[in-house]
């Protein structure tokens, strides 16, 4: 049984010890894989760490060391000062943000369900989700950072804090361009719930502020602003969404680039001749013609407009469940339709489907399918084996997308039968009365 105490108001609360126990358990699980070395780690992240350490740590963030945006390099330089083995120091960054990610997921669930057993369970499930564990502890990737800030943005949208929502999205975008999947959610909620669209200015301002340390360290502003555009043209992805590639530190002979297309990982680029990089998308079923690429882009745009249209035409504010279901639908359906996706680009969808499962009845099956599809698509790259043919994995993902879209349409239509009952005596609205909004702003 979960140890529960009472606050001064008489409401049940979970003592910090419950969160600590879960976090410690998650750390123990991750320590099991701490020595695993992926080809991404070997070819890129490890050399970046070495080059930063060899050239002055923070002083080196002003040099063109990698094709990642500088904020991750700040963290990589920071852990270089810790008295830890390199692989532990690097994976510590992602592990810390795993906990932050799970924390924001719990806060999102707590917006509707006050019972500690529910939102603490969401913290545990996200923190111990297979793809979350594998991404940080085995792969050494840092997708939990941008995903944590996207969940933070979602949380502040639910709290009707538009400026904070945009600041957190700006932070997410400053770490990885994959955060762009969440942008339609931010705009739709601000528009439909009549929150201040002016708050969107916080996105570029936050992004710019995160570049300042690198600029002060000597990196040319033009070079900083071209990181994502360069990824578009050379990263091998439709939007340069963190493709596998890197630059060597000046004078090192391009050590980071020596790994080519991410080292030894098998199956890279399989399916549709490069229109999917192991990702479980519909490109697993079609040819590699340019026509399919543009049809996919058009389909992704159409899906975004469909979601926005449904939200706008209902002519009432989006509630907390509406926003959670909308966010999950967008971050799952749009990557499924976009060309040149990598297997990791469903990471945010993996997490949000878990969160949505706490809101929607019987959605656990869909959340489990999405996580399983991501894990199966990791296998060709991480473990050099295809456990299930990727076209079949893509079909399962397709069914998950269809189910999520149908639930979205029913929930926004007002069909409450899909939703779990709110554990609060009074449900907290996603948008408080206008006087309260005006006072807050």
Each residue of 31-61: pLDDT tens digit?
999 999 999 999 999 999 999 988 888 888 8
User: Does residue 15 form part of some domain?
Assistant: no
Q: How far apart are CA 252 and CA 249, in angstroms?
A: 5
In a domain? residue 390: yes
* DSSP tag of 384: S
Q: Is residue 226, in this structure, part of any structural domain at all?
A: no
Q: Are 335 and 341 in contact (CB under 8 A)?
A: yes
User: What count of other Cβ atoms lies within 10 Å of the Cβ of residue 312?
Assistant: 11
410-436 core/surface letters (b: 16 or more CB in 10 A; e: else): bbbeeeeebbbebeeeeeeebbeeeee
Q: What is the pLDDT of residues 307-346, one digit of tens each?
A: 999 999 988 999 999 999 999 999 999 999 999 999 999 9
**Most confident region among 205-209, 219-223, 283-287, 413-417 by mean pLDDT:** 205-209
- Residue 81: how many other CB atoms lie within 10 Å: 11
Query: Residue holding tokens 């076209």?
Result: 391
Alpha-carbon separation of residue 120 from 16, 264, 320, 358, 376 (angstroms): 10, 39, 18, 11, 28
Could you give the CA distance from residue 104 to residue 135 in angstroms, rounded to a whole number?
A: 18
Worst-scoring range by mean pLDDT, 115-129, 380-394, 408-422? 408-422
Residue 258, number of CB atoms within 10 A of its CB: 15
Q: For 116-142, what is each residue's pLDDT tens digit? A: 999 999 999 999 999 999 999 999 999
Question: What band does 242 get if pLDDT is binned at 50, 70 and 90?
Answer: very low
Of 427, 349, 332, 351, nearest to 106 by C-alpha is: 351
Q: Calculate what percentage of the chain has a pLDDT beyond 90.
A: 69
Indicate the average pLDDT of the chain: 86
> Which pLDDT score, from 0 to 100, does residue 196 have?
87
State the residue range of the domain holding 182: 23-216+232-240+247-440
The closest alpha carbon to 276, from 259, 292, 252, 300, belongs to 292
For residue 413, tell me if it sits in a domain.
Answer: yes
Evaluate whether residue 5 is within a structural domain: no
In this structure, of 48-52, 207-211, 242-246, the range with the lowest mean pLDDT score is 242-246
Does some domain include residue 16?
Answer: no
- Does 308 map to a domain? yes
In order of 156, 270, 283, 285, the CA distances from 273 in angstroms are 41, 6, 9, 11
13 inside domain:
no
Report the number of distinct structural domains present in the chain: 1
Given a cut of 50, whether residue 1 has pLDDT beyond it is no
Compute the distance between CA of residue 376 and CA of residue 268 in angstroms, rounded to an integer. Answer: 14
């Amino acid at each position: 049984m979960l140890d529960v105490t009472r606050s001064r108001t008489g409401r049940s609360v979970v003592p910090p010890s419950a969160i600590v126990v879960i976090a410690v358990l998650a750390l123990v699980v991750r320590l099991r894989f701490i020595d695993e070395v992926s080809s991404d780690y070997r070819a890129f992240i490890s050399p970046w760490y070495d080059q930063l350490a060899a050239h002055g740590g923070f002083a080196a963030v002003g040099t063109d060391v990698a094709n990642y945006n500088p904020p991750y390099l700040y963290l990589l330089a920071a852990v270089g000062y810790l008295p830890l083995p390199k692989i532990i120091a690097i994976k510590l960054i992602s592990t810390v943000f795993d906990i932050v990610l799970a924390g924001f997921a719990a806060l999102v669930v707590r917006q509707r369900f006050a019972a500690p057993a529910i939102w603490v369970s969401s913290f545990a499930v996200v923190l111990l989700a297979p793809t979350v564990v594998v991404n940080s502890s085995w792969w050494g990737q840092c997708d939990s950072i941008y995903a944590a800030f996207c969940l933070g943005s979602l949380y502040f949208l639910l709290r009707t804090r538009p400026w904070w929502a945009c600041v957190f999205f700006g932070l997410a975008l400053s770490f990885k361009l994959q955060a762009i999947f969440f942008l339609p959610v931010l705009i739709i909620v601000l528009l439909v719930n009549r929150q201040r669209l002016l708050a969107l200015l916080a996105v570029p301002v936050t992004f710019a502020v995160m570049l300042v340390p690198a600029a002060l360290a000597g990196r040319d502003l033009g070079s900083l602003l071209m990181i994502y555009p360069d990824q578009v043209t050379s990263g091998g992805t439709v939007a340069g969404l963190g493709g596998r590639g890197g630059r060597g530190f000046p004078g090192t002979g391009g050590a980071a680039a020596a790994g080519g297309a991410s080292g030894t990982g098998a199956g890279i680029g399989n399916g549709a001749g490069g229109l999917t990089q192991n990702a479980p998308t519909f490109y697993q079923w079609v040819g590699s013609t340019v026509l399919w690429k543009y049809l996919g882009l058009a389909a992704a745009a159409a899906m975004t407009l469909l979601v926005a249209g449904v939200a706008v035409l209902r002519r009432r504010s989006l509630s907390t469940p509406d926003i959670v279901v909308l966010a999950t639908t967008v971050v799952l359906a749009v990557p499924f339709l976009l060309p040149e996706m990598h297997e990791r680009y469903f990471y945010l969808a993996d997490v949000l489907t878990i969160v949505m499962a706490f809101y929607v009845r019987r959605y656990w099956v869909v959340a489990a399918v999405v996580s399983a599809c991501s894990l199966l698509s990791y296998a060709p790259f991480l473990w050099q084996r295809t456990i299930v043919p990727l076209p079949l994995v893509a079909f399962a993902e397709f069914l998950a997308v269809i189910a999520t879209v149908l639930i979205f349409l029913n929930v926004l239509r007002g069909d409450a039968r899909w939703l779990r009952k709110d554990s609060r005596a009074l449900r907290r609205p996603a948008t408080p009365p206008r006087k309260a909004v005006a006072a807050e702003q």
